[in-house]
Chain A
Amino acid sequence: QSVLTQPPSVSAAPGQKVTISCSGSSSNIGKNYVCWYQQLPGTAPKLLIYENNKRPSGIHDRFSGSKSGTSATLGITGLQTGDEADYYCGSWDASLSAYFFGTGTKVTVL
């Protein structure tokens, strides 16, 4: 099981904002960068945020990331039906010498 904990689901109406938390520990998030991945239904995951708050080329600025201590947060503003997906955080754990994805959060647009 993962050492990174996310809420199972979040939801909001179109145009609204959602935030997804990712809780870890001092050996992973507290010490290393956090990434966020989006997995649309039936597709491979896609990198959404890297190094806590940077967006790869082509990722809209509606998506944002932040980190504080041993937790990280993904924010999605201006929610669209196309944002319905599973979202995963990820970070390296220095104590376990292993990479962990979060438990995953399903975003639903009401």
Chain B
Amino acid sequence: EVQVVESGGGLVQPGGSLRLSCVASGFTFSSYWMSWVRQAPGKGLEWVANIKQDGNEIFYVDSVKGRFTISRDNTENSLYLQMNSLRAEDTAVYYCVRVGCSSGCYSDVWGQGTTVTVSS
């Protein structure tokens, strides 16, 4: 079964750090772009970051640039999101997402999400 499973969410104080992990199975992880997408409570979806198959091309939403780092380990079929200098507005469910590409690219496999709460 093709799936991605996130972990690492929790409660953290403002200014703190957290590292999210995502383990992929059922597909060749190293062949896909991967993404993190988040959803604040009661709000819409917000794309956070993308990383290319070899990790050499990365994009971030402006609001996390300089604070978050996306990375991957293809030997471990794993995706990571290092989150530093966390703010209350980073509180959200964070989804690990596989990005499929043919003519265009699309988010075709989603995890169940891991919840990050930034609060004192």
Contacts and interface: CB of A to CB of B under 8 A. Distances in A.
Contact of A32 (B46, B102, B104, B107): B104
Given A97-B59, A98-B59, A99-B50, A45 B45 contact: yes
A32 B54 CA distance: 23
Interface in B86-120: 95, 100, 102-108, 110-113
Interface of B is mostly: strand
Interface residues of B, number: 24
B59 A88 contact: no
B35 A99 contact: yes
A37 B108 CA distance: 9
The list of the 3 closest CB pairs from A to B, nearest first, reads: A33-B104, A50-B106, A99-B47
Contact of A101 (B46, B103, B105, B112): B46
A62 B66 CA distance: 43
Given A50-B106, A99-B59, A101-B47, 10 more contacts: A32-B104, A33-B103, A44-B113, A45-B95, A86-B44, A88-B45, A90-B107, A101-B37, A101-B45, A104-B45
Interface of B: 35, 37, 44-47, 50, 59-62, 95, 100, 102-108, 110-113
A103 B45 CA distance: 8
Chain B CB count within 10 A is highest, among A2, A39, A50, A103, for: A50
